[in-house]
Chain A
Amino acid sequence: MKISTKLCKILFSIVLLIALFASCKKDDVAAPLIVAKATNAYSGEQVRGYFSLLCTISQTTPGFFPPQVSRAYGYIGITNYEAVVNGISGAQSLSGQLNGLTNSDLPKVSAGLSYNWAISSNAAIADMMRKMFADKISSINSARIDSIELSNLTSLSRGENNEVISRSVQFGKDISGSIYKYSTTDGGDKSYMDPFQLPFPLPIDTFCWVPTGAAQHPISPNWGSNRPFLSVNVSNTQPSAPIDFSIVPGSAFYKEAMDMYTQVKSNTADQVEITRYWADDPFNTCTPTGHTFNIMTQLLEENRATLEKTSVAYARLAIAENDAFISCWKGKYKYFLIRPVSYIKKYIDASFSTVIGTPPFPAYTSGHSCEMGAGSRVMISLFTDGSGNYQFTDYSQLRYGFAARNFSNFNEMADECAKSRFYGGLHYNMDNTRGLQVGRAIGDNVNKMINWPHNIK
């Protein structure tokens, strides 16, 4: 009895001490800025739904070629991130980190007030999607955005305070408005209205690009002058000059063309399939950027990623893809290199034809290689220990009538994507190997040079 009373006293003292310490600690910490559930408390499903829709809209909106699509995904990705960043522990806004985006450009949350980050994200993405396709969006696509937005808002608002709902919607829209304003000064605003950027005087020389099909002008010749999200992604990633042009049989350049010619002539059925798989579709495609985002969406889905991980992943990929196309296009128009099909038809075999049509822009370096190089680096950083090892099946092309493809490493996937352009007769080997280098450098910059939150769920 005596012992038990003593024990009670000791226990009581310990509890009292803990309570005292805890209350002292509370006093030392400043009041939290925002009273809200963390971003990782929400599902990322609604955002993934929007990015899936984005592919459909990119496919069906006139004027959206690979550079324009990468830009649309780019700005929508960072808009969503900014709409939810305040709910991510240890996260920093992209303002002050991205080229030309200052702290004062973005709206701030009100201290002490509650927000629902999923509702902010919903409003921000829907609004930004309308803005990025504004002058060309079809009524069907517009209705699709409206429908998803309303459906998401209805489900996210259940049990939520009305003031929180309207404040969160307004914050999302304010973010979208601010990022859109920022986008208008990058050089690519409404470029879908004039994707060929005419007039563009075609340089004329034996090494120069010439039309390879119906399009008599190359796409977006000034795209390389656009403002990237990270300046180093363009200034520090430019490829060295291509192999010296020559029509002399036995020269290094002739050999590049000959290698590709031999490859196309001896393609296996699997190599033809790989060519078409990465080309997506001959008519309506959401472009290489859309395919890479579709893969990302599937990976996030499989990992049941929260709104936090989904938003960080899309933002990283968005920056990487946007900048990959700017950097790639800068190189393309600097060297303005003739496509292999034109060279081979003129100097090797006039009856030569490629596996699929050649897109209307210069060869060096390959757009697919640049963008997939960048995208794969982002995926490696998000889903692997750095090795790139990750077993997955790309189901994203099933809906377009392609069989699913299995991969066990993201580097291997990027290599296959790059190689597909060689099999197809669209690019010299050097376009792909150096394109991958450009892209990988960009992906690494995006991973390392931006202060991304750690331990995201």
Chain B
Amino acid sequence: MKLWLRRYHINFKPFGIIFPIIITIKSFKALLKLLTVGILFVLIFSCKNKASLDSTINDFANTECRAMQLRIQRFKLADNIRFTQDSIIQKTQSGDTLQLHEKITKMYMEKELLFIQSSRLADSIKVQLDIIMSTYLTDKNKKLAFNRKLDSILIIKGCK
């Protein structure tokens, strides 16, 4: 590295305790080369970062999509339960409600299962989101970009 820098007339000079190294650029050509390397480094780094963020959002969208499906199932089941309960109330005086009661019992078992699945997923989403928030979404613009990206992935996946 040092030799490569010297080749382009970039020298290191000791400079006291506070600034141990000072770079002296001896030619305009060297300055241009240094700038090119710097820009390339920044570009590669930001691409890597973007790729990592994209893959994180994609992973998150997969989990979120599953949560959305479970949510739809919960609301659907809740509707079935309340409509069945309405039927039981209406039929209490006029007819046999045994089958409806059996139906409700089954739905309550399904509800328990859905709750366990949803809760586990909710915990996992919370952890993932906390990491995304603290690592990537450090300002409002990044949040807006994240929202847009997540929305578009969820729409493409048919979850939204």
Q: Which residues of A contact B (CB under 8 A)?
A: 52, 56, 60, 213-214, 276, 281-284, 301-302, 353, 356-357, 391, 393, 395, 398-404, 406
Contacts and interface: CB of A to CB of B under 8 A. Distances in A.
A213 B154 contact: no
Contact of B122 (A282, A393, A400, A403): A400
B135 to A, nearest CB: 13
A401 B69 contact: yes
A398 B129 contact: yes
Contact of A401 (B64, B111, B129, B151): B64
A399 B125 contact: yes
A302 B77 CA distance: 36
Contact of A357 (B68, B82, B144, B147): B82
Closest 9 A/B residue pairs (Cβ): A401-B71, A282-B78, A401-B67, A399-B122, A399-B125, A401-B68, A214-B85, A357-B82, A399-B126
Given A283-B111, A283-B115, A301-B133, A357 B71 contact: no
Interface residues of B, number: 36
B82 A393 contact: no
Contacts of B154: 403
Contacts of B143: 393
B122 A283 contact: no
Interface in B84-136: 85-86, 111, 114-115, 118-119, 121-123, 125-126, 129, 133
B66 to A, nearest CB: 8
A181 B127 CA distance: 36
A284 B151 CA distance: 26
B140 A400 contact: no
In this complex, which of A276, A356, A399 has the most chain B Cβ atoms within 10 angstroms of its Cβ? A399
Contacts of A404: 147, 150
B151 A282 contact: no
B126 A213 contact: no
A403 B147 CA distance: 9
B70 interface: yes
Given A214-B85, A403-B154, A356 B118 contact: no
A315 B67 CA distance: 32
In this complex, which of B71, B111, B123, B144 has the most chain A Cβ atoms within 10 angstroms of its Cβ? B71
Contact of A395 (B75, B77, B129, B144): B129
Nearest to B82: A357
Contacts of A399: 67, 121-123, 125-126, 129
A213 B140 CA distance: 44
B32 to A, nearest CB: 41
A299 B160 CA distance: 26
A284 B78 contact: no
A353 B71 contact: no
B8 to A, nearest CB: 43
B53 to A, nearest CB: 16
A400 B75 contact: no
